[in-house]
Structure 1
Amino acid sequence: MFRKEKLQDEVAVMEYIRLYTSIPVPQVFGKGDSVVGPYMILVFVEGMPLSDHLRASQDPQKPSTLKLDIKTDTLRRAYRSMADILLELYRCRFPAIGGLVQDETGRFSVKKRAVAFNMNEIVGLSKFPPERLSQDCFSNAISYFESLADDHFHHLEMQRNDAVTDEADCRKKYVVRRLFLKIARDFSKNHDYGPFPLLCDDLRPSNVIVDADMNVQSVIDWEFCYAGPLEFSHCSPWWLLLARPQTWEPDIDDFLVHYTSRQKLFLEILRDRESELARECIQLGSPLLSDQMARSLEDGTFWFHIAATYSFSFDDIYRRFIHPRYYGRSDSVEDLRKLLSEEEEKDMEPFIRKILDQAKEGGLDTYRTLEEMMQS
């Protein structure tokens, strides 16, 4: 989705990273439009994805997960490379949340919306109408978090195919999305107005090209990179086990068992790199990234980030990790609806009737023709 916009974003980000960081990125030889859509031409980089050194299986048909008995030296080297990339991005700061634009003079600024991974997913997989997504930059994190929460609500509103199982399920999903919006409005207390670091929704070891000795040759796939809230940069990386927590088999409990020990190792490496850079008089972003990441599981930032940035696992993550922190263990709809505003309570029943009527009709609305998708 958004192929032209994503390509423009990716080219701008790669040029910025090439000029202002030590992260190696492919040289862009050209870009443009063709009869089958936008394109860019990059220099070919010899090597293999870093994830190939870490995967439990090299079968491309199987989910990418960390080899649990991997040698510690191999994992340390991989984590060190990833830590260096994160530290570089963390030092890149901008006055607003959004996508990078390079003007004719070569100057970079944030003057367009951020194209996030979840935007691509909900438009591509659930026929979410693109015009319902925010078109704005944001001067503060709270406004951005509110926008993400609104996307979850609109996703429920627009997604007909298996969006709800029955009336009770629909009512609960309405209520928790309204409650999540309340959480989002109060989530950013210390870093409301930036400056905002670069972050990449899709950064992971499979996007890092290395040689046979695991030396980084290039980092690719920057289309979901933008200036984003500090809270998201402060999250411990989801990719420490290669797989996202919501896709880990057999379940999230098992994910946490294996994740915790790898997080400890990653933070140890990150702190070592921060100390080394400080001794070299290289200015680090503030506060220290390692200190913030160490807290992110305990203080709930990690789970807020996961829930806010991926609609298809929102309900499971919210119910397990977010709701108990803010509203206690009770998930009775009758208790929860008491937390709604008068207007939200008034709007709930008409909303539920609309969703259930749509479910009876079946099928999905088509918001874009094939021609529109090809030209986007």
Structure 2
Amino acid sequence: MKTEFDKIAEEAGNAELAAWAAKVKAANEEIVTFVGQKLRTNVPGEFVQYLQGSYNVNLVISFGTEDTVIIRFPKRGITAAKFLEEKVRNEVRFLEYLAEKTVIPVPKIRDWGTAKESPSQLSPYIIMDYIEGTELSELLQQLQDDHKEAEVDLVYEQIADYMLQISRLHFSAIGPVNKDTSGAWTVTDRPLTTNMNNLASVVTDYPVDQFPKVAFTSTQAFLHYRADENLLHLQVQRNLAHSTQDAEKCFIARHRFKQLIERFYPPSEADNGPFIPYCHDLRPKNMLARYEEGSLKIVAVLDFEYVNTMPAQFAYDPPWWLAMVSPGLMLEKFALEDFEALYVPRLEQFLRAMARAEAKQKPSQQKEAISLASRMLDSWASKRFWFNHGIRKGWDVDVVYWSALHEPGDEELSGDLEREMSLIAEKKMEQLAAYEAECDARGIAQSG
């Protein structure tokens, strides 16, 4: 089954983005001057190119042979307006934290500020080093196509090392990493997630006042919040289900996810931490690499937006991207077995790379009683990998449940839930009819 965005909200966001992008283009010269002032250089700047991302636009600006930087703006209409400043501040702090606590190659931040401080008040901004390199996903796919597995091993080992470094970063709450007045790194603010941004930007009338206000100090509390967020999402998005059967399947999947929390996260001392930064987008598409001395080396890891400390088990999951395709997207089109046929051989290869990376650690770094490779294997074997993926990604929760976690008989509900499901299914069909009529009136094409 496939869930999709609200086309009305999505079109409104696209219209806002188009108007904003035109303002960015019109302000190019002002932006170049602004960056030069922030860098305190007398060398004239020159706009080189745009680098587009899903949530951001980057302008590459060159100052002769002296310096080349990018200025990064979150896209209005894609990032919910209420989250713009929060998103940028959280990313800046996490990049600064990684630069201080790890040797992961992240770009150096040169300056950052609010929308009011930006050229033409476009959007909050980050100015950071521009790093030459090719997107690693392109290079890795070519290596795999050419069956150069020894070189794939070297790439995997570098990424495994980054994941190892991050797995050692422990906190006592769930949320974004920040610095307190004493200069200590801490977590006190609410977690801002990709899912929250999507609910606020591509679901009409989602009650954003019900988002968290502060950090979580309990794994159970956080996971129950996320499960409830998915249930509220089902009630609010008018085109989430396209038939009574769809609505019932969504209802069952989202309630079962809430009931599965205790299975995958039995209450224990670990409920109160440690919590570890989880970087969902730590993947080849957000890494730059180049050949140095005949070996492919990762030279930059990018895009740490929406990173929060999360239950440690998230950091113990194997990478979801190993099959070079989104698990949720794959399950929408094919069977679980088709995904596993692509994923498992790469998982086995990555776990061997992780074991090598762990073996290379210094004795002072070998603090964990259980290896990260073993934890990752356990996550996959126990299906916690699938639970974690579904609980994080609200638009994947239904297909993940029915494809990977459902067992015969699980669809049986108590009498109260059966009655609630019947009412929800009826409500969803009424919502869908109103939604489709509004789309027709606006001339918006629909799918599903």
Scaled by the length of structure 2, the TM-score of the pair is 0.71
What is aligned with 2:329?
A: 247
Is the CA contact 2:187–2:215 (under 8 Å) kept in the aligned structure 1? Answer: yes
CA distance in 2, matches of 1:141, 1:91: 18
What is aligned with 2:274?
A: 195
Is the CA contact 2:253–2:397 (under 8 Å) kept in the aligned structure 1? Answer: no
1:31 has 2:112 as partner: yes
CA offsets 1:182-206 (integer angstroms, 9 cap, x no match): 1124431253221111111211012
1:45 has 2:131 as partner: yes
Q: 1:71: Cα distance to partner?
A: 0.9
1:242 corresponds to which letter in structure 2? Answer: M
Any gaps of 5 or more consecutive residues in structure 1? 57-65, 366-376
CA offsets 1:116-159 (integer angstroms, 9 cap, x no match): 23223333333344333223311121111111111211111111
**Mapping for residues 34-113 of structure 1, pairs under 5 Å:** 34=118, 35-55=121-141, 67-113=144-190
Is the CA contact 1:274–1:284 (under 8 Å) kept in the aligned structure 2? Answer: no
Q: What secondary structure is seen at the aligned counterpart in 1 of 2:361?
A: helix
What is aligned with 1:159?
A: 237
- Of 114, 120, 129, the residue aligned with 2:197 is 120
Q: 1:84: Cα distance to partner?
A: 0.8
1:337 corresponds to which letter in structure 2? Answer: L
What is aligned with 1:175?
A: 252
Structure showing greater radius of gyration is 2
Is the CA contact 1:160–1:364 (under 8 Å) kept in the aligned structure 2? Answer: no
Structure 1 residues 52 and 167: alpha-carbon distance in aligned structure 2, compared to 1, 3 A threshold:
closer
1:224 corresponds to which letter in structure 2? Answer: Y
2:325 corresponds to which letter in structure 1? Answer: A
CA offsets 1:301-322 (integer angstroms, 9 cap, x no match): 1110111111222211101221
Q: What secondary structure is seen at the aligned counterpart in 2 of 1:42?
A: strand
What is aligned with 2:425?
A: 352
1:281 has 2:359 as partner: no
Q: What secondary structure is seen at the aligned counterpart in 2 of 1:353?
A: helix
2:136 corresponds to which letter in structure 1? Answer: L
CA distance in 2, matches of 1:177, 1:255: 22
What is aligned with 1:373?
A: none
1:137 has 2:215 as partner: yes
Scaled by the length of structure 1, the TM-score of the pair is 0.84
Q: What secondary structure is seen at the aligned counterpart in 1 of 2:308?
A: strand
2:388 corresponds to which letter in structure 1? Answer: H
Any gaps of 5 or more consecutive residues in structure 2? 1-78, 439-448
What is aligned with 1:269?
A: 353
CA offsets 1:315-342 (integer angstroms, 9 cap, x no match): 1110122121xxxx136x5xx122x6x4
CA distance in 2, matches of 1:232, 1:17: 18
Q: Percent identity?
A: 28
Is the CA contact 2:257–2:387 (under 8 Å) kept in the aligned structure 1? Answer: no
Is the CA contact 2:247–2:424 (under 8 Å) kept in the aligned structure 1? Answer: no
Is the CA contact 1:234–1:296 (under 8 Å) kept in the aligned structure 2? Answer: yes
Q: What secondary structure is seen at the aligned counterpart in 2 of 1:18?
A: helix
1:216 has 2:298 as partner: yes
1:321 has 2:401 as partner: no
CA distance in 2, matches of 1:5, 1:83: 29
CA distance in 1, matches of 2:367, 2:171: 15
Pick 1 or 2: higher relative contact order, CA cutoff 8 A, min separation 6: 1
Q: Give the count of matched residue pairs.
A: 344
Q: What secondary structure is seen at the aligned counterpart in 1 of 2:431?
A: helix
What is aligned with 2:435?
A: 362
CA distance in 1, matches of 2:260, 2:398: 15
What is aligned with 1:306?
A: 389
Is the CA contact 1:201–1:225 (under 8 Å) kept in the aligned structure 2? Answer: yes
What is aligned with 2:16?
A: none
Q: 1:354: Cα distance to partner?
A: 2.9
Q: 1:288: Cα distance to partner?
A: 2.0
2:209 corresponds to which letter in structure 1? Answer: E
Q: Structure 1 stretch 303-312 or stretch 247-256: which is displaced more?
A: 247-256
Q: Structure 1 stretch 257-266 or stretch 242-251: which is displaced more?
A: 242-251
Structure 1 residues 241 and 284: alpha-carbon distance in aligned structure 2, compared to 1, 3 A threshold:
farther
CA distance in 2, matches of 1:134, 1:184: 19
CA distance in 1, matches of 2:437, 2:395: 17
Q: What secondary structure is seen at the aligned counterpart in 2 of 1:216?
A: strand
